Structure 1
Amino acid sequence: MSDDATAGGPVEARLPAWAADYWANDLVKIGATLAAVYAVYLVIGALLGYDLSGQLNSLRRLTFLIVLYSIAALVVNLHWGYSGLFNIGVVGFMATGVYTTTMLSRPLQGQNPTGTLPGLGLPFPVAVVGGVLAAAAVGYVAALPSLRLRDDYFAIVTLAFAEIIRITVKASELQEFTVFGVTLGTGGGRGIRTYPNPVDEFFAGPGQPVVEAVSALGVDGSLVAGWAFVLVLVVLLAGVYLLITRLAESPFGRVLKAIRDDEQATLGLAKDTASFKIRAFIVGCAVLGLLGIVWQGSQGYVSPSLFIPQLTFFIWIAVIVGGAGSNTGSIVGTILFVGVVYLGPDYLRRLVEEYVSLSGSVPTFPGAVGALAGGDPQGVLLYTLDQTSTLRVVLTGVFLVWLLRTNPDGLFGDRREIASSIDLEDRVERRRARGDADGQEGGGSE
C-alpha cells in the first residue's frame, strides 16, 4: 500500500498507461531516483579515472549518507508532516543517544586504558537501549511545552534544547565527573572515543573469506566492512519506514493527521491532542537517538562540533524537497539533496581540477573580486573551489529558493495523506454519479 493519499500525480499523467502503473508504486519511484543518481556518479567516477575500488567507495559513501539522512527525514516527516510539530532540534536528540551509549559502554575506571575516560562498563546492547531511552526521555521533557506553545515557539524551544545539550556535553566541568562513586565523562570540547563498530570488528579478523575473495578480484578488502555496514543501515531504514508507515495508517496516525489539519476540531471530537503529540514526539526522538548511535558513534570518535544546527537544517531541506506529509517524498528528497547539493560541490571541484588548468590560490573573497575586476575570472573560480563547504551552503539556499518558487509543496507535497481512512472525495463523486443516473432513469420513465 502506498504511503501517500492519492495514486496519481503530474508525472503519471504524462506516462503511458502501462508505465503509469509501475510508477504508481512508491518503491519504483525511490529505486528510479536512486538509480539515476548512481548513474551520474558512475559517470563522474569514470571521468575522474576511478578504478573499481574507487567507484565502489564513491557509491558506498553516497549510499551511507542517503540512508542516514533518510532516517532523519522520516522522523522529521513524522513530527511535522503528520503531527504538525516543528522540531528543529534534531541534532540534540542524536547527541543524547550517542553520548549516553558511549558513557554506558566504556570500561569501568581501572579497567580502561590509561588516559581514556571511564564509563559504566555495560554490555553494548544494553548501552544502546539506554541511549535510545535517554533520547526518548529528553524528547518527553522537550515536548511538554507543546501543550501551550504554537508551532513557531515550539520550534524555538526544540532549537534551544539542542543547543543546551551541545553546550552541556562541551562543558569542561563534565569532561570527567564522579556520581555516586562512579567516574564518567563527556570529554568536554575535546570529544570522546566511542564504542567499536561491531561490523568493522567482524570483518577485521585475519582470514575472512569474504575479504579474501574480494581482494582476489582486485577490489580493496576494506570496502567489505564498509558496504556490510551500509547494508545494515539499509535494513534499519526499512524498519523505520515500515514503523512510521504503519503508525500513520493506524487510528493513532489518523488522529495525528487530524491534529495537523485542525487541532481545535480534533479537540471537539474528544481527543486528547496533547497526549497524541507528546507520544509522537517521543517515538521520533527515540529513533533519532538510535540514529545518533549508529551514525556518529560508528565513526569511533564524537565531539560536540558534530551536532551544530546546520545538520538539522540539511535534514529539513531534504524533507522540503520531497514534500512534507509523504514518506516516499522524504526519501526521494533525501536522495536528490545528498546527491546534488551535499556531495555535488565536492565532485564538481574534482572535475574542474581534473580538466581545467588552474594555477595559484585566492584564499579571500576580496582577492577574488579584485581579480575579477582586473579581468581575470580565474580568481573567482579558485576561491570557489577552495570553499567547497561554503559553496554547499550557497547551493542549498539557491536550490531551496528555486524549489519554493516552482513547487512550494515539494515533489510529493500534493500527495499528503489525509486524516480520514476513507476517500471522502471519491465517495462524493460516486454519490453524485449515482444521483445523475437516478435522474436520467426518472426522466426516461416519464
Structure 2
Amino acid sequence: MKALRFLTAGSVDDGKSTLIGRLLFDGQAILADQLDTLERRAAGRPIDLSLLTDGLEAEREQGITIDVAYRYFATKTRKFIIADAPGHEQYTRNMVTAAAGSDAAVVLVDITKLDLTQDEVVLLPQTRRHSLLAQLLRVPSLVFAVNKIDALADPGAGFAKVKAALDKFAAAAGLNVAATVPVSALRGDNVTQPLDAAWWTGESLLQVLERLPTSTERTDAPLSLPVQYVQKDAYQSAGTGFQPRVLWGRIAHGAVKAGDTIEVLPSRQTAVVAEVRLAGEVVGSAQAGDSAGLVLDRQLDVSRGDWIVTPGSASQTKHFPATLAWLDTEAAKPGRKYWVRHGNRWVQARISAIDSVLDIHTLQPQDAHELPVNAIGRVQMEVQHELPVEPFADNRVGGALIVVDPASHRTSGALLVDVQPATSDEAW
C-alpha cells in the first residue's frame, strides 16, 4: 500500500506535536539516543513527546510549533509521512505549505477549550480556518481528532456535543470528513489502540489512517507537463539525426509515449515525441506523477517554465477568477503588482478586483476591498503574460499559483483557480 502523507492542524496548543510524538513512540519509531535525551530532560516526570517534532530552539523555548516538521513511521500494513503544522495564525503559511502535498489532514480539537455547557458548542476559529484551507487545497480526506478527553469527568457526553458541532460545520462547509475520533495524545487513549470505553466502539486514529486512500493524479486526462529543466545530451541521437535536448518535468496529468504529438506553450509549436525517459533510461511511456524526460523529433525553443500539453487541450489567458488564501501581514489590495509562480514560470500579476471575503464563522461571503492576513477571498487576477491555468478542482498543478511580494520576497498568498477562464488578448 502506498505511503500516506498527512498533516496535523488545528489551533495552538491543541496537542498536535504531542499526538505525533505519541504515534512515533507507540510505533517504536524513536531512536534510542532520542529516547535517552527525552528521559533525561523529563527527570522522572512523564516524557514530553512534543519535543520529538519541535526541533527549533525557538520552538522549545516558547513551547510552540513555528516551522513544519516532517516525521516518518510505519506499521505492519502501511508507511506514513507526517507533517506537523503550526497552530498560530501568524504561521498559517506554513500550514498551507504542509497541506499542499498531503493525502489527509488530521485537525485536532482541544475539548478543554470549548464551552460544553452551551446547547451548541462553538468551535475555535483556527479549527474552522485550517479545515477550510485543507478543503481549498484539495486534501482528499479530513479527520477530526477530539483531543484531551482524559481531562473530562464525562468524556462520552462531551465528545458527543463536540462531534455534533463538527458535523454541523462540515455539512455547512461541504467538507469530506473521513472520521471524527476521540483521543488523548498525552495518555495515548485511542491513538494507536482502540479506546476501552463503553461509550466508544469505533476505530482508533491509527486504524482510520491505515485505511485512508492516497491522492492519485489523473492519467485519463490530456497530457500536462510543466518543464522544469532542459538537458542537452552529450551524444547524437540516431533516431532524430541531431544532438537532442531532454525536456524534464513532473507530469501533472495525462500520459505520454513515443510517437505522441505534443504542443509547447506559450509558443504553440508542435512536435512528435521521439523518446520518453525515466531516471535517465528510455521507457515506453510515462504517466501522471512521473518525473519524465521527453526528447522531441525536432528542435524547438523550449525553456524552463513552458508547458508541454496535448495539442488543443489547453487554453491560455491573462485574466481568471481564483480563491486567494492571503498569508502576508500587509493586506492584499487591488491594483498592486506581485510576482506569481505557475508551474515553473514566474510572471508579474495584480489583483484586478476583490469580489468577497469568506466569513469563517458564518461561511458566507462578505463584501471586501482588501484581504487581511489569514483571510480567504474570491478575487479576479490579471497576469502580464498568458498562462495555461486550469480549475484547481481538476488539476492541483495547473490550477495553483503562489503570490510573492516583489519588495520583501515574502510568500504572500496561495491562488487556486476557480473555473475555466476565457481566453483573452487584452493588454497588460
TM range (shorter): under 0.3
More helix by share: 1
Q: Give the alignment's TM-score, normalised by structure 1.
A: 0.18
Larger relative contact order (CA 8 Å, sep ≥ 6):
1
Q: Give the alignment's TM-score, normalised by structure 2.
A: 0.18
More strand by share: 2
